[in-house]
Amino acid sequence: MILNSLRLFKIIRIVLKYGIDEIAMSGLRIPRTAKLIKTLLFWRDLSAPRGERLRKSLEELGPIFVKFGQVLSTRRDLMPPDIANELALLQDRVPSFDPDLAVAQITKSLGAHPDQLFASFERVPVASASIAQVHFATLKDGREAAVKVLRPGMKDTIDRDVALMKIAAGWLEFLWADGKRLKAKEVVGEFDKYLHDELDLMREAANGSQLRRNFADSDLLIVPEMYWDYCSPSVIVMERMKGIPISQTDKLLEAGVDLAKLSRDGVTIFFTQIFRDGFFHADMHPGNILVSVESATLGRYIALDFGIVGTLNDYDKDYLSQNFLAFFRRDYKRVAEAHIESGWAPKETRVDELEAAVRACCEPIFDRPLKDISFGQVLLRLFQTSRRFNVEVQPQLVLLQKTLLNIEGLGRQLDPDLDLWKTAKPYLERWMSEQVGWRGLVDKLRAEAPRYSHIFPQLPRLAHQALTRAAEGGNNDALLASLIAEQRATNSLLRAIIYIGVGILVGVVLAFSYINFFMIPVV
């Protein structure tokens, strides 16, 4: 209780120091109260922009609040653009914790001292963030490894700070005119779940393992192997990755990396994760991306830190692919229709009005290089349009939005002249042809074949059982007529099933013939 009170006093002091209360007071339901508070605190210097003051206050409050600001920066549907842009500058600049605590954590989690587990262990960490820090080590079989250790006491720290955030969110919704629209409680609730997921490093290890398996045969992306014998909820050990941070473009050029190709490969990796796998790395900021400079893998991306991933189901992928393709073809009517058909926009929405609004958002960005486009501004205009037409912003797409903004930032660094549309359109068209063309039909029939193989052999027995049950009911004329009618219906059903089965078989044969002899293979 005392710790909570002290923490609360510190938060209040920092809020007043940077004038964060002034940002909230601008929308108070009771203007006189706002003026009174502003008069009492006349001595403060609030000349700096509000976004900058908010960012500095979060940095002073500590790593949990920094992470909260990072999450808020992705919610451009809720945040004003100046605040969202400033929060996007937040980084996890967190001092490392005592190596003795890391050693103790490893010993407790893995049941042995690092000197017993590894051939060598570097006590000085190579990286430190708000949730964990990383040490290099060498396994006894000679493999080089990276050891990620959870910060001690993080759960208590998170629980304490999130509890205070929930209280603040309640007051914000009560006092601020726009509080309910910003969904402060909902945002804090999402953040709470996100942080507690990151506390389980086994979840991160599983995410990394899945991503590695998805790109096992890829020549674009390298994902470290997880050494499961050395993994626990608070310590994970993985293959050590060597490369140059993607933000260091000068060093990449010196190493002979083709930056234009690297930027195109990044787009391909992004769309592959989204549309092929429905499983994507959702924290692709420059600190988590390296580029290999080894001769055998020169220019390949190296992904790190898998604490945040996003998932999409088949419906989400289909919806997104239709919208992306419609955007690329400038078919804004189809975009509007897709939103209404999916239920994301109210059914009474006029297609022509929504079409015109989307056109106004997107038409100015076509046929322009990436350096002349701000996806942040495009997303902001789209979200403003969504509020106007009461379009629901789907929670599963928030991480996708964050990832798209990360891709934009990487693209600007690597190749400002990259035409994202021309790079992405062929990939999406190929994916759509695989999903809805002949190849998609064959794949779906192959996937459903095990179900059909169980159903067809049972049909005669099920028909015989139905006839037997009907016969046991009596011998009157009405029952006999019913039995004859049911038998005729069953016979008709069996004939229809046989015809359909033969038709499917012929269709599959024709499809395979068409693919093998007439279609150009898609590489």
Catalytic residue set: 283
In the chain, the amino acid numbered 401 is Q
Residue 133 assigned ligand-binding role: yes
CB 142 within 8 A of CB 191: no
Residue 84 assigned ligand-binding role: no
Residue 132 assigned ligand-binding role: yes
Q: Within 13 Å, how many C-alpha atoms sit on residue 90's CB side?
A: 32
Round to whole Å and give the CA distance between 73 and 66. 11
Provide CB contacts within 8 A for 261, sequence distance 6+.
299
**Torsion angle of C-alpha atoms 446, 452, 456, 457, degrees rounded to 10:** 90
The sign one gets for the Cα dihedral 291, 85, 16, 159 is negative
Residue 273 assigned ligand-binding role: no
Determine the 3-state secondary structure of 148 from DSSP.
Answer: strand
Tokens matching residue 54? 């908010």
Residue 267 assigned ligand-binding role: no
Contacts 24+ apart (CB under 8 A), 37-41: 41/16
Determine the 3-state secondary structure of 125 from DSSP.
Answer: coil
Determine the 3-state secondary structure of 219 from DSSP.
Answer: coil
In the chain, the amino acid numbered 384 is Q
Residue 470 assigned ligand-binding role: no
Round to whole Å and give the CA distance between 391 and 384. 10
Residue 386 assigned ligand-binding role: no
| DSSP assigned state of 98 | P
Round to whole Å and give the CA distance between 360 and 25. 33
Round to whole Å and give the CA distance between 440 and 424. 20
Residue 127 assigned ligand-binding role: yes
Place of tokens 């809805």: 436
Residue list for the binding site for ATP:
126-134, 148
Residue list for the binding site:
126-134, 148
